[in-house]
Amino acid sequence: MISFPNCKINLGLNVVRKRTDGYHDLETVFYPLPIYDVLEIIPAISTTGNDVAFTATGIPTGANDENNLCTKAYQLLKKDFPHLPPIQMHLHKTIPVGAGLGGGSADASFALKLLAKLFDLNPDDRKLMELSLVLGSDCPFFMINKPCFATNRGEILNLLTIDLGQYKLILVNPGIHIRTAHAFSQVTPTTPEESIKEILQLPISSWNGRLKNDFEAPLFKQYPEIGKIKDELYEAGAVYASMSGTGSTVYGIFEKEKNVHLSFPSHYFTRELNL
């Protein structure tokens, strides 16, 4: 059985406070994008002594089989469903890693859903959401996979009606892997003057300077090439541009009829998408 985990961008990202459990409270809007990995799971053809025979192709994840979130999703589900049989799992990775796009989280959440469907486990939606949160703070979003206003660690989700259909999006990743823990260590939590939810009710032309990602300032200082991407997107006519999540991907939102001319190094990952 095959599924296609997609990525997301963040429309604004405020780090509000440091929690006593070591995580941070934040507010953001998760917006799904049609860029996909490929995940296939089948029952194990032969027994190798391992519950999961995991293989991967495409962009290297940098994780060994035991630390891959898809493998962890299987082991987590097996605690509640001990009869879960051994499997073969293959992941083809096209979503950049350590890029603020949530690709690893998407893979993990889709693995949970795929395993439940393949083996008729029938856990309720609440249980799957609880399991996904164990795997990562933005994993619950990918169980819903629609635009959501997110608070707390990112797991308190409310569906948000936002129409960007008259725009196109250009996504640029310079190939810089930024670890989430490092990114959070660079940010000083601050209560925002305006809620992201309120800003998004305004015309998109007014977002620049108001809809902010708190990770941009410290990470642009550390990695100037990321900030340069944002500048180039605005110079090319973006209505709004921002870094996604904890970086290093930057996106620009353009009027659909706008002819955009950009020139980035050949090793950059770039995509143009209709929203």
**Could you give the residue numbers annotated as active site?**
8, 138
* Contact predicate 15/21, CB 8 Å: no
d(CA 196, CA 45): 49
2 close to 39: Cβ distance less than 8 angstroms: yes
Of 59, 98, 102, 268, nearest in space to 177 by CA: 98
**To which residue do tokens 């499997």 refer?**
87
User: How many Å apart are CA 133 and CA 142, to the nearest integer?
Assistant: 10
Residue type, position 273, single letter: L
**156-159, strands of its sheet edge to edge:** 6-18, 24-36, 148-151, 156-159
H helix runs in the chain, sequence order: 69-80, 103-118, 125-135, 139-144, 180-185, 196-199, 216-222, 224-235
Q: With contact defined as beta carbons under 8 Å apart, do 36 and 95 qualify?
A: yes
